[in-house]
């Protein structure tokens, strides 16, 4: 009976040491994965900031494009009116 108790205690100590070693490895692996997640989060934040800056630049470009497009539309309308005026004026100019 005492022998069984000693063997049981020895097995219990060995299993405890194995569990301690496994938990230590698990802790190391978890720390490594948490570092990877943290770095990925930092990269994501950097990419988000870059995307925000690019969006602001794009938004400014779109505003400038819209302004240029409106100006071009006005110029085209003015040219159309000038062409119509010239066409009407030609009706009064005698041809040779």
Cα distance between residue 31 and residue 25, in whole Å: 10
Element (H, E) at 93: none
Six-digit token string for 64 = 């400038």
Which residues span the domain enclosing 62?
Answer: 33-89
In a domain, 11, yes or no: no
Percent of the chain with pLDDT over 70: 99
> What pLDDT does 92 receive?
82
The number of distinct structural domains making up the chain is: 1
Average pLDDT on 26-36 reads 93
pLDDT at 95 over 80: no
Query: Cα(56)–Cα(65) distance, rounded to whole angstroms?
Result: 14
Other residues' Cβ atoms within 10 Å of the Cβ of residue 71: 10
Q: What is the mean pLDDT of residues 22-43?
A: 93
Structure tokens at 61: 């470009």
Asked if residue 9 belongs to a domain, the reply is no
Q: Point out the least confidently predicted range of 14-18, 60-64, 89-93.
A: 89-93
For residue 96, is pLDDT > 90?
no
Is residue 74's pLDDT more than 80? yes
CA–CA separation, 59 and 66 (whole Å): 10
**Residue located via tokens 């950097």:** 46
Q: What is the pTM of this model?
A: 0.54
For the ranges 1-15, 40-54, 77-91, the lowest mean pLDDT is seen at 1-15
The answer to whether residue 60 is domain-embedded is: yes
């Amino acid at each position: 009976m005492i022998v069984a108790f000693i063997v049981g205690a020895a097995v219990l100590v060995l299993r405890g040491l194995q569990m301690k070693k496994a938990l230590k490895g698990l802790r190391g692996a978890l720390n490594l994965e948490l570092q990877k997640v943290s770095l990925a989060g930092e990269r994501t934040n950097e990419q988000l900031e870059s995307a925000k800056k690019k969006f602001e630049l794009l938004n400014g470009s779109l505003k400038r494009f819209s302004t240029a497009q409106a100006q071009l539309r006005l110029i085209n309308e003015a040219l159309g009116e000038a062409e119509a005026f010239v066409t009407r004026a030609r009706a009064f100019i005698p041809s040779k």
